[in-house]
Amino acid sequence: MSNSENRKPDLVCPRCRSLIEVLTNSPLECVWTIYSCTTCLYAWRSTEPGENTEPENYPEPLRLKAKNLTKFAVVPTIPTKLKFTGMQNLFQKGLIMVGPVAS
């Protein structure tokens, strides 16, 4: 058996090259596996094309550096809490069916 036949797939994230974990396997054994990156949360199925699954073929403009992840903005942003008005209280109690509108 040659070395390449015995080789396991790369066990690093295609996007940021950090460690990955197995999320789940197909219900029918050995059909596919879903992997996830523990750093950037990128996830992919083993049956996807190499540009999605192989670090050397992952599109360079989409690659991330793990050390930069903390500098990225949180998307989507968490909305500010709305002040409750009389109409919103009625909506919450189910007395009206139209919800409050953010201002």
Q: Which is nearer to Zn ion, 10 or 31 (CB)?
A: 10
Q: Using CB atoms within 10 Å of the CB of residue 83, give its burial: 0 to 12 exposed, 13 to 18 middle, 19+ buried.
A: exposed
Does the protein bind Zn ion through residue 40 (CB under 5 A)?
Answer: yes
- Residue 19 has phi, psi (to 5 degrees) of -70, 150
Binding window for Zn ion (CB under 5 A); candidates: 14-22, 27-35, 44-52, 72-80: 14-22
Q: How far is the CB of 78 from Zn ion (least distance, A)?
A: 23
Does the protein bind Zn ion through residue 44 (CB under 5 A)?
Answer: no
Footprint on this chain of Zn ion (rule: CB under 5 A): 13, 15-16, 18, 37, 39-40, 42
